[in-house]
Amino acid sequence: MSYSEKRCYNIVYSIVNIIIDTSFQIVCGSILKALMMRECNRDYTYHLPGTKLTIEKGTIVFLSPKSLHRNPEYFPQPEMFIPERFTDVEKAKRHNYV
């Protein structure tokens, strides 16, 4: 490989690495911004079918607002935009943190 080819290769390699690093930072930053971080204030046992999970007091947990916003328990037909669900009367029916 000639000097100019090697130099060109190094430049392209550097640019690709910059693009990958920048993309990674953007994607990870977006994911972290989309999560809520909370500290568990008491021991909490979560029962799933066939298993039991205990989150100890002081444990940091990450929650996705999307999991709340798309939960049919709080928002029937979560995939649909229904403006009436944002009235004061409807909001009063839900938990404050939803």
- Span 14-36, pLDDT tens digits: 888 777 776 766 665 555 567 78
Alpha-carbon distance 41 to 55, whole Å? 10
pLDDT of residue 29: 55
DSSP 55: E
Backbone dihedral angles phi then psi of residue 62, each to the nearest 5 degrees: -110, 130
What's the pLDDT tens digit per position in 37-89? 889 999 999 887 888 889 999 999 888 877 777 888 888 898 888 888 888 88
pLDDT of residue 43: 94
The model carries a pTM of: 0.46
Alpha-carbon distance 98 to 67, whole Å? 10
Token pair, residue 81, equals 């935009």
DSSP 65-84: HHHHHT-TTTSSSTTS--GG
